[in-house]
Amino acid sequence: MDSRTLVFLPTYNERENLVDLIEQLFALGRNLSVLVVDDLSPDGTGELAEKLAEQYRGKIRVIHRDGPRGRGHAGVTGLREAAASPCDYVVEMDADLSHHPSDLPRLLDAASGADLVIGSRYVEGGRTENFGWFRVLNSRVAAGLTWLFLGLGYTDPTSGYRVYRRDLLARLPWDKMISPGPSIVEETLYYIQREGARIAEVPITFRERQEGRSKLNVWIRVRWILAMLRIRRAANS
Ligand SMILES: Nc1nc2c(ncn2[C@@H]2O[C@H](COP(=O)(O)OP(=O)(O)O)[C@@H](O)[C@H]2O)c(=O)[nH]1
Ligand SMILES: [Mg+2]
């Protein structure tokens, strides 16, 4: 039987990307359902997600987060909810079409032999498109820092395109996590490595978004580095 897979999408101002992404996901013909976690996007992404949920009845759930927004807050809400949902695998991917649904079948195939599959831009066969040298440098430096601070020796630890076994997510100590922003991606990987989980890296083609804007700015980058310094300490407290 096709394993049950829940695709978790964190969204903030992704109105121009969400319909395409959802259509492409369901066109894969796998046993998929979708969980959208939106932080009250001013562009109406949350309302659009509700419309899609009506259209694809029973296949899409939407959580509207209130309170402080952030990729990390949304990540904890979404993955926690996913861990308690009836499914075998949980996919996490960006909602800006940078992570392409056409790579998903290969990631899911690899998940039968691993607890976590990371979609990697930098493993042999991986690619980036339309991703300028500064963004590549950024993600390479970030990977170096996660190795230095957290001991994560993977080619692409900052990739948010992943497949988790649901039972792995159910074992993670969500209450200890301290990342309000994108460092949640490295923080979850840190705890997963500590669990002794089997981690595989599979090549993906990452395409920088065509629509909407990245939420990565200088302040978010500074907070990301500060989080790297605190994650290990919080884990051991
Ligand atoms: N719910 C929620 N999602 C967010 C937030 N910030 C970013 N995202 C989503 O996280 C994903 C990655 O964000 P993006 O801005 O593209 O970051 P980049 O790919 O690193 O430039 C996208 O699906 C965003 O919509 C947030 O504060 N709340
Ligand atoms: Mg993006």
From the CA of 96, give the closest atom in ligand 1: 23
CA of 13, nearest ligand number = 1
Give the model's pLDDT for residue 67: 87
* Residue whose C-alpha is closest to residue 89's, from 130, 10, 22, 35: 35
Q: What is the pLDDT along the chain (237 residues), one digit of tens a residue?
A: 578 999 999 999 999 999 999 999 999 999 999 999 999 999 999 999 999 999 999 999 999 999 899 999 999 999 999 999 999 999 999 999 999 999 999 999 999 999 999 999 999 999 999 999 999 999 999 999 999 999 999 999 999 999 999 999 999 999 999 999 999 999 999 999 999 999 999 999 999 999 999 888 999 999 999 999 999 999 998
Give the model's pLDDT for residue 73: 98
Residue 84 corresponds to which tokens in the numbers above? 């308690």
Give the model's pLDDT for residue 215: 87
Residue 111 corresponds to which tokens in the numbers above? 């998940």
CA of 215, nearest ligand number = 1
From the CA of 69, give the closest atom in ligand 1: 27
Is 210 near ligand 1, meaning CB less than 6 Å away? no
Give the model's pLDDT for residue 84: 98
From the CA of 65, give the closest atom in ligand 1: 1
From the CA of 94, give the closest atom in ligand 1: 23
CA of 180, nearest ligand number = 1
* Domain 5-236 architecture: Alpha-Beta Complex (3.90)
Q: How far is CA 131 from CA 137, 146, 169, in A?
A: 10, 21, 30
173-177: Cβ within 8 A, 24+ apart: 173/235, 174/76, 174/79, 174/80, 176/234, 176/235, 176/237, 177/72, 177/76, 177/234
C-alpha 181 to ligand 1 mean position (Å): 9
| Residue among 8, 18, 65, 96 to mutate when testing ligand 1 (max atoms within 8 A of CB) | 96
pTM score, two decimals? Answer: 0.97
